[in-house]
Amino acid sequence: MKKKKGVLITGASRGIGRAAALLLARYGFHLFLNSAHHLDALKEVQKEILRLPGASCELCPGNVGDPGQVRNMFSQISRSEQVDGGVEILINNAGISHIGLLSDMTDSEWNQVIATNLSSAFYCCREAIPHMVSKKTGKILNISSMWGRSGASCEAAYSASKAGIHGLTQALAKELAPSNIQVNAIAFGVIDTAMNQMLDPDEWLALQDEIPAGRFAAPEEAAQMILHVLQAPSYMTGQIIGFDGGFL
């Protein structure tokens, strides 16, 4: 059987991850889809993908904020008959938000945000890189936020985790460039996903009014941006690319 290029997308059950999975499935990749909690939704994404001609994907459920579970995921990937031992593309998309005063935040809440949004990218990169280095090719794309560049009031942990993603992206890009591995991040603005459904109507309208483009982006637009970055020339690495409707 001819091997396909493997793509792992964390947090693929909904929002940006789901949209990216459905789009990339049309380009001949073998998809490994991860989610920690929304397994029924993840299975639905898999069903949609398998309806596409020639498309293939596997589910890799697990908490990417747990290094042991990440090792198990990559062990599963290495045994897949569809790919040659690993993934060529890693999309670190898993993320959660927390809104509230920093002084009211518990240790557990802080640690959960950092583990899910930042440590997960480290754990997944650490497992993916050896295969990429052995093949002298690979792309790592970290899904970030404009709040990692400017910070958001009452979202200190989230903003800190995304700022950490930016530092990780730029440092790792320099480390891996000699091995022909590109590492970039997209700093998304407000995307119309479940993460933003917690806003009440007044907050929604107020935030929308701050965006020069006058609207939230659709997940499908975010997925198109992901595809563009993955298709960029290999000379583009270490970049934090804004996609925020002119907000910043």
CA distance 16 to 29: 17
Unique residue bearing structure tokens 């747990």: 66
Would you call 123 a catalytic residue per the annotation? no
Tell me which amino acid residue 40 is.
D
Dihedrals φ, ψ of 34, to 5°?
-115, 145
3 state DSSP class of 155: coil
Smallest CA-to-CA distance from 219 within 246, 198, 188 is with 188
CA distance 70 to 119: 11
Q: Which two tokens stand for residue 41?
A: 């939704």
CA distance 218 to 209: 16
Sheet holding 6-9, edge to edge: 56-59, 30-33, 6-9, 89-92, 138-145, 181-188, 240-243
CA distance 199 to 243: 21
Tell me which amino acid residue 54 is.
G
3 state DSSP class of 241: strand
**Catalytic one among 27, 123, 158, 235?**
158
Residues labelled as active-site residues: 158
